[in-house]
Copies of this chain bind each other. A is one copy, B any other.
Amino acid sequence: MKLYSYWRSSAAYRVRIALNVKGVDYTIIPKSFRLEEHRAGDYLHLNPQGLLPALETDDGAVLAQSVAIIEYLDEVYSQPELLPKPPLERAAVRSMALSIACDIHPLNNLRVLSYLRRRLSQSEEAVNEWYRHWIAEGFVSLEALAARSSTAKRYCYGDSLSMADICLAPQMANARRFQCDITGFPTLRAISSHLESLPAFVAAHPDKQPDAGAS
């Protein structure tokens, strides 16, 4: 498989973790957000959404949207499971994952920050405040959910790895990078520390990518 990825994209980071967890062999095709390579003709033909990541299967099918890709990987490669079996539990895990994928991350995407800077003439300070605001809003609720559902503060739901953890680790990395105050989220911090020690997460880290440091 080929993964169109950008080292700093946290949606791509999620998919890299999922691929590693599932033990899928894949090649990274780096695309630069800042150079707008994701808006160039050849990539846009592959993925009309013009966002990263996209996964190209060995048969040439191209999948977009990180959560859809992770669900696909979980359906095709059954072990280890990224969603529990009972529907209510699956819903709980998806709900935590989507609270990040829908309600935190899209607000802090590079294209949104660029809009704030360029079209709304916001200062770097105002942009950073925006960034931290949406992480804090999202983490308050995610902390409450994880405190209820994590049984050993190693994973978001119960005591096994799920799609919620795959979304949490990249979001926590972003929170640290933007110097968010994360002292109020002890459960999320404990879970993230554990996740960051797992080989599948270590190998997916932005700094370990072939395009690390690229603009």
Chain A residues within CB distance 8 Å of chain B = 48-51, 57, 61, 63-65, 67-69, 71-72, 75-76, 87-88, 90-92, 94-95, 98-99, 101-103, 105-107, 111-112, 115-116, 120, 122, 126, 130, 133, 137, 141, 144-145, 148
Q: Are A98 and B67 in contact (CB under 8 A)?
A: yes
Q: Are A75 and B51 in contact (CB under 8 A)?
A: no
Please report the C-alpha to C-alpha distance between residue A111 and residue B76 in the assembled complex, in whole angstroms. 37
Instruction: Given the known inter-chain contacts A48-B145, A49-B141, please indicate yes or no for A63 contacting B91, CB distance below 8 A.
Output: yes
Query: What residues of B have a CB within 8 angstroms of the CB of A64 in the complex?
Result: 95, 99
Instruction: Given the known inter-chain contacts A48-B144, A65-B99, please indicate yes or no for A57 contacting B88, CB distance below 8 A.
Output: yes
Q: What are 28 A-B residue pairs whose CB atoms fall within 8 Å in the complex? A: A48-B141, A48-B144, A48-B145, A48-B148, A49-B103, A49-B145, A50-B141, A57-B88, A63-B91, A63-B92, A65-B94, A65-B98, A65-B99, A67-B94, A68-B94, A68-B98, A69-B91, A71-B90, A71-B94, A76-B87, A102-B106, A103-B106, A106-B107, A107-B107, A115-B130, A115-B133, A120-B122, A120-B126
Number of copies of this kind of chain in the complex: 2
Please report the C-alpha to C-alpha distance between residue A98 and residue B87 in the assembled complex, in whole angstroms. 20
Q: Are B141 and A65 in contact (CB under 8 A)?
A: no
Instruction: Given the known inter-chain contacts A112-B107, A122-B120, please indicate yes or no for A90 contacting B102, CB distance below 8 A.
Output: no
Please report the C-alpha to C-alpha distance between residue A103 and residue B122 in the assembled complex, in whole angstroms. 22
Q: Are B102 and A88 in contact (CB under 8 A)?
A: no
- Name, among A101, A122, A133, the residue most crowded by chain B CB atoms within 10 Å (CB to CB): A101
Please report the C-alpha to C-alpha distance between residue A120 and residue B75 in the assembled complex, in whole angstroms. 43
Minimum Cβ distance to chain B for residue A39 (Å): 11
Closest to A11 in B: B102
Please report the C-alpha to C-alpha distance between residue A107 and residue B107 in the assembled complex, in whole angstroms. 6
Query: What residues of B have a CB within 8 angstroms of the CB of A145 in the complex?
Result: 48-49
Query: What residues of B have a CB within 8 angstroms of the CB of A71 in the complex?
Result: 90-91, 94
**6 shortest interchain CB distances as A-B pairs:** A48-B144, A68-B94, A72-B91, A65-B95, A65-B98, A68-B95
